[in-house]
Chains A and B, each alone.
Chain A
Amino acid sequence: MPAPQCASCHKARAALRRPRSGQALCTTCFCASFEAEVLHTVVAGRLLPPGAVVAVGASGGKDSTVLAHVLRELAPHLGISLHLVAVDEGIGGYRDAALAAVRRQAARWELPLTVVAYAELFGGWTMDAVARSTAGSGRSRSCCTFCGVLRRRALEEGARRVGATHVVTGHNADDMAETVLMNFLRGDAGRLARGGGLGSPGEGGALPRCRPLQLASQKEVVLYAHFRRLDYFSEECVYAPEAFRGHARDLLKLLEAARPSAVLDLVHSAERLALAPAARPPPPGACSRCGALASRALCQACALLDGLNRGRPRLAIGKGRRGLDEEGPPGRRGSHSRPDPPLRSPSPASRDSSSPLGSDDVGVRGRL
């Protein structure tokens, strides 16, 4: 059967149906609608005020490519300036090719680009080194857990270096829905409590962060990139097949086939979730080591790096208190409401670092 007419301009042939409205649109009207929606998301949510210096997390992939392209079109209208920040996690055979794509984009769009590397920020701990350190820890590979935390920290650091006032990332509706599923599947009450919403306002000194594409389905992001002929890097990270997110993604794809609105509905459900009092996380404090926002003595990044440096990579992985409890002295009271035990001071064999950022911890290099 021939494609229907565009419901907007009634002139051209429709190219797709927008999942949310069911409206059939031609490529021109779809691209315009997509861009208008991003603009609306930003303006209605007051996400990027005039004068904002916006650090765009750029991986070379489809989402950040579309994000940077659209924001660049909207920048004059919004009165913002853009700066691409790319994170080099140190994944051989993958990240180098992706960074090449980012460099091409920066040149084509004439946008400044800053690259921050794990190796430099985290005392030599590249993702390849983390993967070697966590291999054989049983169950599925947990190096992706490290990457999620460390990449956010690296992006924050890169944004600071360029004097940004805001950070944006290209997460789309599917990513958000997958995260909601993952948090439920892992019983992560803390993240569920913080989940939903258009972005974090930047508590504890962190830069405000938002996701302008979060109402766009992944399919629309890919089609937008295709219709606008945007060049992006489309290989899967070498560690991704073993990441837990893959299970959530498979489930989401099946759900979406049965009920296309399931993706956005999941995100909306998470936004409206209210946790039982016992499940609510304690108000966050500051990391005792680096000062970043933390709900325990150490922020996640410091706790993960600590575990790596001590040769106990699984130290900080695991929900709530369980990770740090591994380190608690024996014979403590069994009550679950006890405060976190203080971390014992590191053994002489593993050098302690005063800050995970810019550390030159000699003890780490032996593990590379």
Chain B
Amino acid sequence: MIHSLFIINSTGDVVLEKHWKSVVNKSVCDYFFEAQSKLSNPDDVAPVIATPHHYLINIYRSSLYFVAVVTTEVPPLFVIEFLHRICDTFEDYFKDCSESILKEHFVIVYELLDEMLDNGFPLAVESNVLKELIKPPNLLRSITDTVTGKSTSVSDTLPTGQLSNIPWRRTGVKYTNNEAYFDITEEIDAIIDKSGTAVIAEIQGYIDCLIKLSGMPDLTLSFTNPRLLDDVSFHPCVRFKRWEAEKILSFVPPDGHFRMMSYHIGASNTVAIPVYLRHNISFRGGSSGRFEVTIGPKQTMGKSIEDVVLEVPFPKCVLNVTLTCNQGKNSFDPVSKLMTWDVGKIDPAKLPNIKGNITLQTGVPIPESNPVITVMFTIQQMAVSGLKVNRLDMYGEKYKPFKGVKYITRAGKFQVRT
């Protein structure tokens, strides 16, 4: 299984190493650096790298590479999922998993890593179990620690959830206000071609929950139109059999934040595209070009489109752009050649527009293709697939919880070819 872990920063320093079996020398990372040095983009490092004696499986997150060393035939997805889980845990504990944060909480990091794996096998990974074993840092405790002169970050009793049939929930949870919130977020992944038709459009949906309920609540959540969901993955708490039989989500929830379900609505269903782009981008000989883009709403069911941001990665031969927009702010990074236009909210009466000139390097052939524009946006109070929660019922506890459902539609990987 997982032999060792190296956390490497973008400048190529090993921030932390952890070995669950025998020690693997740091020099094994040289193979990783070699692969990394060949690429210009940090995202492009292949996830699995073979070396003569080891395999390096890595992920790139928060500008850090998490490199796992394995020596035997292991499922690489297992390792990748686990590395992401390690990052999730760090983010859960420290709100972020950047290099400085990890260094700051280094002892907890080390304790966590030690607790999460044993001999390369996952040991305690569930957040609630870990939090019982190793308390997350908080200001109040560090003050009391300093005053009383003792540290209490490690618990000395066995966490309760570890072995129960519902390892994701601890016992004895108590709240004065019992609340359950469900966020239904849908992301539209789409490629729009030059003429404005969707080459591919699909929806990636998530149901994230924040549950603050006392005791052992058993919840059921039903939808008015569950037919939409035929490709789903669930948090382990969801009883799959009931879903199969009745299309009802029945579960004993973990305490706090968790992703209950994610779903995918594929290309076979037609997806309503909420925005359109009118664009006119041309590079002319003689080192100049024109750029004009207008964005407008389309199929939004009366909801307004907010937080609109456009990103245009210009070709390398573009020296500068001089653009003016009638709304929002735009900026151009001359190093990465990325133009960002922060539009804000779209007012259907006065469509946001940006136009201006492009300055090209002289003596270089003009680019043969126009840039692909990435569009980001958010629409509140709407799930683009039309998914709707019917009702939420609670069994097993007597109190009346406060329930809330929120719908959001966002752009996922939304790309417009020009």
To the question of whether A and B form a pair in one complex, the answer is no
Residues of B within 8 A of A (CB): none
